[in-house]
């Protein structure tokens, strides 16, 4: 079977993009913003700007794209809750406007969207700053369609420490512990990308569900604090979790990031824990430049081609492209 046939048959899932930030002036109109303003353009029209829109997701054969909602104090004005709600509203409006994009909240709806020839959009929160200190807000976000939550973004917040705050080094706060318990109770997926190592171990001790590292790579392959040590990957596998391969050049290779170097991370993780715990989490529209061969989401089939060339079996390729993420979703959110 050719790589394109495998790619089309697979349920392809990408567990992280920052596209919603390109659609909100709160992000694009900051003086030092890295996001090109696509607020007037939206996601329906095929664009050359940025990395992701509805048409390019179809072209790239992506069946489910997770859209991050985030609002960190260093990057946005001081209204995290309002900013998050505006992002969620914009996501739902885009789904109403684009024939091919449909909002989903469980794995069954992703499979149904694929059958209908549509792209499923799932909401995640990147950094629970957006609950503004109230655990009850997690339930509110769930009602609005969010099914995945990262406790912290780059910087320390009320729940946990992000890896970019290098001097803090703390585990979860009391509120962070309560958030893990509440996310388990609400059957929402916990995302451990961005949390520091101490927080990662706390989350794994506390949660009863498999966790996702939606956009994190291997630290043994590329030394970066946003990537995961072998010890962490072993624990993630033991927990039944899945990690999505991030295309940010600095997480892929210290000198020259390419599509092949991304697949080197897959090789390492599969060697370490087998093929059941790795997937895709591009970070498209959130990365300052791209690995050669992964210029935007239309290039996703290149990953499949490379896996075929490295003689992965068809079943394992399908797991890596999205089967593992679907298994985790089915376990946690249904
Ligand atoms: Zn991120």
pLDDT tier at 26, thresholds 50, 70, 90: confident
Residue 301: closest CA among 116, 63, 110: 63
CB atoms within 10 A of CB 153: 27
3-class DSSP state of 17: strand
* C-alpha 309 to ligand 1 mean position (Å): 30
Beta strands in 29-118 (DSSP E): 64-69, 101-103
Judged against a pLDDT cut of 90, whether residue 3 lies above it is answered with yes
pLDDT tier at 127, thresholds 50, 70, 90: very high
d(CA 252, CA 232): 18
* C-alpha 233 to ligand 1 mean position (Å): 18
Q: Mean pLDDT, to the nearest integer, of 233-256?
A: 98
What was the pLDDT predicted at 71? 84
Determine how β-strand 212-213 pairs with β-strand 242-245.
Answer: parallel
What was the pLDDT predicted at 35? 80
What was the pLDDT predicted at 285? 95
pLDDT digits (tens, 9 = 90+) for 258-272: 999 999 999 999 999
Q: Which residue has the higher pLDDT, 28 or 249?
A: 249
Chain-wide mean pLDDT for the chain?
Answer: 95
* C-alpha 194 to ligand 1 mean position (Å): 7
Judged against a pLDDT cut of 70, whether residue 326 lies above it is answered with yes
pLDDT digits (tens, 9 = 90+) for 183-227: 999 999 999 999 999 999 999 999 999 999 999 999 999 999 999
* C-alpha 183 to ligand 1 mean position (Å): 20
Residue 117: closest CA among 8, 3, 279, 15: 8
Judged against a pLDDT cut of 90, whether residue 32 lies above it is answered with no
Percentage of residues in the chain with pLDDT exceeding 70?
Answer: 98
* C-alpha 2 to ligand 1 mean position (Å): 33
d(CA 27, CA 3): 38
Judged against a pLDDT cut of 90, whether residue 129 lies above it is answered with yes
* C-alpha 127 to ligand 1 mean position (Å): 9
Q: Mean pLDDT, to the nearest integer, of 288-295?
A: 96
Q: Mean pLDDT, to the nearest integer, of 40-59?
A: 94
Residue 28: closest CA among 19, 20, 37: 37
* C-alpha 5 to ligand 1 mean position (Å): 31
pLDDT digits (tens, 9 = 90+) for 65-116: 999 999 876 665 678 999 999 999 999 999 999 999 999 999 999 999 999 9
What was the pLDDT predicted at 78? 74
What was the pLDDT predicted at 77? 60
pLDDT digits (tens, 9 = 90+) for 142-176: 999 999 999 999 989 999 999 988 777 899 999 99
* C-alpha 313 to ligand 1 mean position (Å): 30
Return the residue matching tokens 């969010």. Answer: 146
What was the pLDDT predicted at 75? 62
Instruction: Enter the DSSP assignment of 246.
Output: P
Phi, psi of 164 (to 5 degrees): -75, -25
What was the pLDDT predicted at 76? 59
* C-alpha 295 to ligand 1 mean position (Å): 18
What was the pLDDT predicted at 64? 98
């Amino acid at each position: 079977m050719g790589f394109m046939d495998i790619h089309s048959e697979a349920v392809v899932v990408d567990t992280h993009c920052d596209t919603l930030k390109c659609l909100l002036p709160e992000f694009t109109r900051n003086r030092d913003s890295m996001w090109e303003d696509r607020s007037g353009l939206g996601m329906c029209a095929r664009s050359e700007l940025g990395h992701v829109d509805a048409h390019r997701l179809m072209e790239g054969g992506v069946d489910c794209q997770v859209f991050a909602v985030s609002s960190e104090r260093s990057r946005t004005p001081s209204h995290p809750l309002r900013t998050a709600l505006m992002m969620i509203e914009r996501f739902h409006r885009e789904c109403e406007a684009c024939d091919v994009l449909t909002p989903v909240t469980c794995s069954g709806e992703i499979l149904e969207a694929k059958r209908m020839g549509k792209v499923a959009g799932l909401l995640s929160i990147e950094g629970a700053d957006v609950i503004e200190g109230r655990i009850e807000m997690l339930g509110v976000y769930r009602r609005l369609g969010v099914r995945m939550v990262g406790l912290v973004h780059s910087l320390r917040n009320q729940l946990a420490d992000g890896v970019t705050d290098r001097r803090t080094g703390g585990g979860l706060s009391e509120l962070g512990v309560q958030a893990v318990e509440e996310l388990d109770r609400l059957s929402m997926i916990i995302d451990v990308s961005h949390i520091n190592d101490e927080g990662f171990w706390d989350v794994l001790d506390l949660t009863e569900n498999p966790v996702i590292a939606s956009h994190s790579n291997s630290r043994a392959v590329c030394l970066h604090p946003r990537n995961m040590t072998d010890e962490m990957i072993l624990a993630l596998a033991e927990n039944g979790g899945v990690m999505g391969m991030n295309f940010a050049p600095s997480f892929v290779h210290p000198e020259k990031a390419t599509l092949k170097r991304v697949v080197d991370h897959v090789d390492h993780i599969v060697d370490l824990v087998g093929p059941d715990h790795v997937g895709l989490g591009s970070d498209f529209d959130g990365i300052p430049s791209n690995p050669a061969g992964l210029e935007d989401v239309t290039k996703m089939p290149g990953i499949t081609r490379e896996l075929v060339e490295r003689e992965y079996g068809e079943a394992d390729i399908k797991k890596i492209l999205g089967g593992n993420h679907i298994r985790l979703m089915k376990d946690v959110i249904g």
